[in-house]
């Protein structure tokens, strides 16, 4: 009886170690949880929302990414507006990427509640290996309009799912 108990305990220990190693590998190379700080992505995300970031993802226009902020060691969450080589222009609160008008439905709630234009007029070309990012709460967002382009190498990954609060669980 004692030998079978030892075998059972050893089997459980091996299984638990395998799970721990798998979790560490997944967290290091595939995905990681991140907590939203501040309101720059409101109403898409709110302060203290918890999201899962996929580290191995191909970034595209309108993706929400987590990156190391150029102005501090904080992680920021913003929306990708411009990719390398893009010509961006905002005129009368309308975004044009390479002279094509782009709809931004994620701004609708903020536009309804503001008597002001959300985004000032500007024009910029995104350099190679960089991204241009902005928060959805354009009137209250520190983003590429203030601190410049985000090097692609500073991107941790793409936000894939919100898992807290439970009432907001899902794909943003």
Q: pLDDT for 23-54, tens place per residue?
A: 887 777 778 899 999 999 999 999 999 999 99
Residue listed under structure tokens 């459980």: 12
Q: What's the rounded Cα separation, in Å, for the pair 59 and 170?
A: 19
Q: What is the percent of the chain with per-residue pLDDT over 70, rounded to a whole number?
A: 99
Active-site pick, 4, 6, 15, 40? 40
Q: What's the rounded Cα separation, in Å, for the pair 115 and 113?
A: 7
Q: Tell me if residue 40 is catalytic.
A: yes
For the chain, the C-alpha Rg in angstroms (whole number) is 21
Q: What was the pLDDT predicted at 21?
A: 86
Q: What is the percent of the chain with per-residue pLDDT over 90, rounded to a whole number?
A: 70
Active-site pick, 42, 78, 141, 144? 78
- Contacts of residue 73, defined as CB under 8 A and 6 or more positions apart, other chains included, come to none
Q: What's the rounded Cα separation, in Å, for the pair 84 and 93?
A: 22
Q: Tell me if residue 57 is catalytic.
A: no
Domain range annotation of the chain: 35-168
Report whether 79 contacts 133 (CB < 8 A). yes
Q: How many helices (H) and strands (E) does the chain have?
A: 3, 11
Report whether 148 contacts 131 (CB < 8 A). no
Q: What was the pLDDT predicted at 26?
A: 74
Q: What was the pLDDT predicted at 71?
A: 80
Q: What was the pLDDT predicted at 170?
A: 84
| pTM reported for the whole predicted model | 0.86
* CATH class in words for 35-168: mainly beta
The tokens for 170 are 């899902």
Q: What was the pLDDT predicted at 172?
A: 82
* Per-residue confidence band for 1, with pLDDT thresholds at 50, 70 and 90: low
């Amino acid at each position: 009886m004692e030998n079978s108990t030892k075998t059972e305990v050893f089997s459980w220990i091996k299984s638990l170690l395998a799970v721990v190693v798998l979790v560490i590998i997944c967290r290091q190379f595939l995905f990681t949880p991140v907590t939203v700080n501040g309101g720059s992505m409101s109403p898409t995300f709110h302060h203290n929302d918890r999201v899962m970031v996929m580290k191995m993802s191909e970034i595209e226009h309108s993706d929400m990414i987590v990156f190391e902020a150029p102005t501090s060691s904080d992680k920021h969450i913003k929306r990708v507006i411009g990719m390398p080589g893009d010509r961006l222009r905002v005129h009368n609160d309308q975004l044009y990427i390479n002279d094509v008008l782009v709809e931004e439905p994620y701004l609708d709630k903020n536009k309804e509640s503001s008597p002001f234009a959300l985004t000032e007029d500007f024009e910029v070309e995104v350099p190679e290996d960089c991204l241009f990012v902005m928060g959805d709460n354009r009137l209250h967002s520190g983003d590429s309009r203030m601190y410049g382009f985000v090097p692609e190498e500073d991107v941790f990954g793409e936000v894939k799912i919100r898992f807290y609060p439970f009432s907001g669980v899902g794909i943003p």
